[in-house]
């Protein structure tokens, strides 16, 4: 599924969640390169890294087709004359104005959403992502995609769940290093949710190679006997099984009652009584077992 996401892209918003142990930046760059190769116009809003460092290692032919929007150099506008983005600029109207002159299709990259969340309230961030995912009211580009990165270990779990539920696709990075483990969750337009776990390697040209090593295989299941650690015996011996099979089940009809039920009905009602083995059938003194 990760190869399909990279090659064909996904509509709406795609969120990559990583942590301090497992970085998702290589995966983000791979998706950016793939978007450029598909002919999409990529706009990167860089808040966490300076523009000259964000695309280190990316081929020059790809970099020349990317538009960078600086949000790192002067986020508080302390220097006069700078065009650096500020946290106040993170809204759907400002972002759409910056990409409005670019023909469709357009891919907006937000790096990173963690930087924005540390300076903007969660409801405002969710509202902006929602507005960018929807077609603009006054026309404009309808074919717009969003790629964003979130460091989930620095945020409240509730905020992470809210953002994941808001996005159409979520790539949760669960492994790092040479081989990257990812849990892919996609929400289809029909409402169906598809999930898969994959392990892959990002190559030097930022393409991916799916690996099939033993670490990517699910652990084998071992059968566990639940009666091993019990203080009583749940197993039946042959004699126990024979006694169980020969025992008369409760509420079983006797032969007399069966034959009566099979006969044609009469006008008078009948009462059938099947005595239990311990019942007292002495008609002369039915209360002789009472201590009176």
Instruction: Enter the tokens of residue 96.
Output: 């759409």
| Per-residue pLDDT tens over the stretch 38-86 | 999 999 999 998 877 888 888 888 998 999 998 888 888 787 666 788 8
- What is the rounded CA–CA span in Å between residue 81 and residue 78? 9
**132-151 pLDDT, tens digit each:** 887 665 555 557 899 999 99
Domains, the chain, ordered by start: 13-169 (3.40.50.300)
Ramachandran sector of residue 258 (left: φ over 0; alpha: ψ -120 to 50; beta: rest): alpha
CB 45 within 8 A of CB 110: yes
pLDDT of 89-120, one tens digit each? 899 999 999 998 888 889 999 988 999 999 99
Q: What is the pLDDT of residue 80?
A: 67
Quote the pLDDT of residue 140.
54
**Candidate from 79-83, 232-236, 249-253, 283-287 with smallest mean pLDDT:** 283-287
pLDDT at 214 over 50: no
Closest C-alpha among 92, 17, 109, 106 to residue 54: 109
Predicted confidence band of residue 199 (pLDDT cuts 50, 70, 90): very high
**pLDDT number for residue 170:** 94
């Amino acid at each position: 599924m990760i190869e399909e996401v990279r090659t064909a892209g996904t509509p709406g918003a795609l969120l990559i969640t990583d942590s301090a142990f497992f970085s998702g930046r290589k995966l983000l760059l791979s998706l950016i390169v793939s978007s450029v190769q598909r002919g999409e116009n990529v706009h990167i809003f860089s808040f966490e890294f300076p523009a000259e460092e964000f695309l280190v290692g990316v081929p020059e032919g790809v970099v020349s087709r990317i538009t960078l929007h600086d949000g790192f150099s002067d986020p508080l506008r302390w220097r006069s004359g700078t065009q650096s983005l500020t946290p106040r600029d993170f809204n759907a109207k400002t972002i759409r104005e910056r990409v409005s002159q670019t023909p469709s299709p357009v891919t907006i990259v937000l790096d990173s959403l963690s930087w924005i969340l540390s300076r903007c309230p969660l409801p405002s961030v969710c509202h902006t992502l929602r507005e960018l995912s929807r077609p603009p009211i006054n026309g404009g580009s309808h074919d717009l995609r969003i790629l964003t990165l979130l460091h989930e270990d620095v945020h409240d779990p509730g905020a992470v769940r809210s953002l994941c539920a808001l996005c159409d696709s979520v790539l949760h990075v669960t492994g790092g290093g040479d081989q990257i483990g990812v849990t892919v969750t996609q929400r289809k337009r029909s409402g169906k949710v598809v999930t898969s776990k994959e392990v892959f390697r990002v190559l030097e040209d930022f393409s991916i190679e799916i690996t099939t090593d033993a670490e990517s295989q699910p652990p084998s299941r071992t059968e566990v006997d639940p009666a091993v650690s019990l203080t009583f015996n749940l197993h039946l011996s042959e004699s126990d099984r024979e006694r169980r099979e020969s025992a008369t089940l409760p509420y079983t009809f006797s032969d007399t009652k069966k034959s009566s039920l099979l006969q044609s009905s009469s006008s008078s009602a009948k009462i059938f009584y099947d005595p239990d083995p311990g019942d007292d059938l002495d008609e002369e003194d039915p209360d002789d077992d009472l201590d009176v």
